[in-house]
Structure 1
């Protein structure tokens, strides 16, 4: 416990932790509002909307992660002075060229994301009312536009602006939560989702520009002399990331829409609420890694292998400790909640919750390790991700259509712990050994 308190003395870690606290508070606040203002069927629609909106990730396919990593590698040769980025002209040109390339790509990605969301939502909600379809359309457009903010935040974070990036996230999240609860209290129902997204988008956009006007103006005005083609360098990694992130959708967001389609809105709502609570808790485990992500990227760029490994192991221990503390609290709250009849129809039963937590821990282990490996600008887990996605899709479809969630998560846990995790560890270790061997030869 003392180790956690010492780590929180770092400003970047503290602000990321505070960001996660806001996100964690957001979960219970929204859950309470849902229980007060939505019925069981509307709850199912709510979490199906949220799960399907994650399809925006299929449009960008990890592009923001790549850009943040590449920016960090370029920033290793630069620094900020009086709000402006300074350093060698060649490094400045590469950094700003990368940012402009990313923005151009997003001019295509955002419309694609919106179209994908509308089409997929049309399949799931084809038999629903006109009002549901209109709300879904508005939610699609705003979710697509939110991709732009995500890109700018990833660029900002790549330049080691961890503190300001997460401060903006905190303020915009607070604004979004307030308007979401207000919309639900005003009996707007599912329309509260696009309202919330709108008031997440607007503050983020305004604050991002106002906090560092000089930096963003420099990006626009800088004249690039030394042009560097980023397309081939990024696309080779993007193709691998695309597989991993595409597969990640099936791992993280497939279950609720399938449950909605084949087991009904009530079961989908129970699963969605349980997963939301579990993921809100597990989000804290990533704090220790995320707060040091730009540092890890720069260590990899400077070939500081031992320092990077030691930093990763130290942060991983904190992550695991955080997960287990959160899991104990969640199990206790679930036990208490199941004592009251009003909540029994809203969440899964305790044995199913335990299985969900075990599955979530496996995901956390793989995700943390993937972050560590990707700091080297390599993506060796695309094949394991593809294999796991195929099998998880088969497992999920079979058990949701033919059995129940309890049996689904038993089989899923066996697959994640005995197959997926070993594959991830083996692929990552092999790729990093190859990465450093090539650097030695050079």
Structure 2
């Protein structure tokens, strides 16, 4: 029997792990104890499978880029992503807010057949209202990307490309922006489904998307498509994401399209309930752009695409480690958010304490392992496509500290608040100025060293202080978040 991915909404044909095993085998019992000890729930496992594929695929992509692209192409390839990330300024952090909102509403809701939502009618109306408005919002963001980011990229790359360069980048940039824009309206629906507790299901989708997008990217690179390969991920995500939602949650899509009066019935107010948190997260995320995405454009501008390409490839490794470490936090978002909604501080603290230390351990141990592998293969040609070893040490150490800061912020955001806005803005100003000054004068070494120092002296101490202070204030004995 043939199985189509789009007609197999739960991806049962792709199960790699059966979470419940009834056996008296001592080996299986030992494995079960280890799994429980490490905190590998079903949601975490499928999230790890998706991240695990990224771990497998990323080195292959790096090898193919290093083999088929010259240094100039590599610089364009990775700087594309940094310039495209400007979309966060228009997106305004809404996806994270939707996930939190859905988690809180699903404390009184459950999923039924074909994506029907059952439970408290007011909560259903509120969920449908925010989803409908969010899809419209992301549609507007897609239009803004086409109107602003597309021409901004054309101007930036044409103004600073290497003299005599024969790299064909104009059409690939246009295709990349259009494909990314097409995926935007899908984001809020997936965010709501994940926030409802369907973490494992959404990450099965992401696993399948990851496998097919990697395959298309590799085929494009090896087949001579050049920089068009940068758009492969978004093309696959649009096809599989839209098809899966339409097949698995048709009732939800119908409600989003046709039920017009839910906001009035529910009393839902975007201005009162969404915007206060959204604009703060938007400022924090825009600050994050200046902290994490300025590396390659600055190096591209002052030192050319070759050095920008080295930084871009190194950042892929650092971001991959951070992405894997975040699994433990992201997979437990519904549990923590629903605990915060019920003012069940004991459960919230217990779950967070466990996943925090697990994720930090993964971040630091993973960084050491990556450095060991890079040192072992330092004589290989691909090593020349990365930053020097000393710079890699500074970079991974800075990102490991960033993970700790982000985890503390994650905990506080479970309360449907964004208290890190002011700290993020101050941090972004410091990092942006340091990136510009030290990057212009000292290249990649100045950039990664300045990021590490800022995280040590400002980022981590201020984040820890704010976390301790607000946790004490918000978790009053009366159970009311002030």
Contact 2:136 2:185 in 1 (8 A): no
2:287: which partner in 1?
Answer: 247
**Offset of residue 439 of structure 1:** 4.8
Select between 191-200 and 431-440 the one with higher mean Cα deviation.
431-440
Which residue in the other structure is 1:160 paired with? 197
The whole-number CA distance in structure 1 between the counterparts of 2:406 and 2:43 is: 20
Cα deviation for residue 347 of structure 1 reads 0.8
Residue 247 of structure 2: aligned partner: 210
1:5 to 35, 40, 46: 35
Alignment of 1:275 onto 2:312: no
Per the TM alignment, residue 9 of structure 1 is displaced from its structure 2 partner at its CA by: 4.5
Alignment pair present for 1:78 and 2:109: yes
Give distance in 2, aligned partners of 1:159 and 1:85.
10
Aligned to 1:402: 441
Q: Match for residue 466 of structure 2?
A: 427
| TM-score normalised to structure 2 length | 0.87
2:328 aligns to what? Answer: 288
| Structure 1 SS opposite 2:110 | strand
Given that 1:250 and 1:389 are in contact with CA atoms closer than 8 Å, whether structure 2 keeps it comes out as yes
Matched, 1:132 2:172: no
Could you tell me which residue of structure 1 aligns to residue 146 of structure 2? 114
Three-state SS of the structure 1 residue aligned to 2:118 is strand
Q: Which residue of 1 aligns with 2:214?
A: 177
Corresponding position of 1:312: 352
Tell whether 2:449 aligns with 1:418.
Answer: no
Question: How many residues in Structure 1 have an aligned counterpart in Structure 2?
Answer: 441
Q: Distance in 2 between matches of 1:91 and 1:286?
A: 29
DSSP 3-state at the match of 1:268: helix
Q: Once the 2 structures are TM-superposed, how far is the Cα of residue 429 of structure 1 from its aligned partner?
A: 3.3
Q: Supply the distance in 2 between the matched residues of 1:218 and 1:238 (Cα, whole angstroms).
A: 24
Aligned to 2:134: 102
Give CA deviations for 1:103-137 in whole Å, capped at 9, x if unaligned.
Answer: 22223222113333213313321245794222211
Q: Does the CA-based 8 Å contact 2:103-2:334 persist in structure 1? A: yes
C-alpha distance in structure 2 between counterparts of 1:354 and 1:99, whole Å:
43
Q: How far did residue 349 of structure 1 move?
A: 1.3
Give the whole-Å Cα distance in 2 for the aligned partners of 1:323 and 1:130.
Answer: 36
TM-score (norm 1): 0.94
Q: Residue 337 of structure 2 is aligned with which of 297, 319, 324?
A: 297
**Structure-1 separation of matches of 2:469 and 2:39:** 33
In 1, the alpha carbon distance for the partners of 2:138 and 2:40 equals 37
Q: Which residue of 1 aligns with 2:21?
A: none
* Distance in 1 of aligned mates of 2:101 and 2:238: 25
Please give the alpha-carbon distance, in whole angstroms, between the structure 1 residues aligned to 2:479 and 2:136.
32
Q: Structure 1 residue 4: deviation in Å? A: 6.2
| Aligned mates of 1:220, 1:57 — CA distance in 2 | 26
Deviation at 1:431, TM superposition (A): 3.1
2:195 and 2:453 mapped to 1: Cα distance?
37
Q: After superposition, what is the alpha-carbon deviation per residue over 1:194-214, rounded to whole angstroms, capped at 9, x for unaligned? A: 234212221121112212334
Q: Which SS does the other structure have where 1:79 is aligned?
A: strand
1:144 aligns with 181
Q: Is the 8 A contact 2:343 2:480 kept in 1?
A: no
- In structure 2, what is the Cα distance between the partners aligned to 1:441 and 1:353? 42
Q: Does 1:188 align with 2:218?
A: no
1:164-198 per-position Cα deviation (integer Å, ceiling 9, x unaligned): 11111111111111111111121010011123421
Deviations 1:73-109 (A, max 9, x none): 1111112234521112222212211211212222322
Q: Deviations over 1:351-390 (max 9, x none)?
A: 1111011101111011111111100001111000000100
Post-superposition offset of 1:328: 2.4
Counterpart in 2 of 1:352? 391
Matched position secondary structure for 2:266 = coil
Stretch of structure 1 that moved more, 326-335 or 299-308: 326-335
- Report the 3-state secondary structure (helix = DSSP H, G, I; strand = E; otherwise coil) of the residue aligned with 2:343: coil
Shift of 1:8: 5.5
Question: What CA distance in whole angstroms lies between the structure 1 residues aligned with 2:329 and 2:481?
Answer: 30
* Among candidates 386, 409, 413, match of residue 374 of structure 1: 413
Question: Which of 39, 47, 52 in structure 1 is aligned with 2:83?
Answer: 52
**Aligned match of 1:20 in 51, 59, 67?**
51
**Residue ranges of structure 1 left out of the alignment (5+ in a row):** none
Structure 1 distance, partners of 2:55, 2:146, is 28
How far 1:49 moved relative to its partner?
A: 0.6
Q: Which runs of 5+ in 2 are unaligned?
A: 1-29
Deviates more, 1:70-79 or 1:204-213: 204-213
Please tell me whether the aligned partners of residues 183 and 189 of structure 1 are also in contact (alpha carbons under 8 angstroms).
Answer: yes
Question: What is the CA–CA distance in structure 1 between the aligned matches of 2:138 and 2:237, rounded to whole Å?
Answer: 19
Q: Secondary structure at the match of 1:403?
A: helix
CA distance in 1, matches of 2:366, 2:373: 11
Moved more, 145-154 or 41-50: 145-154
Contact 1:62 1:245 in 2 (8 A): yes
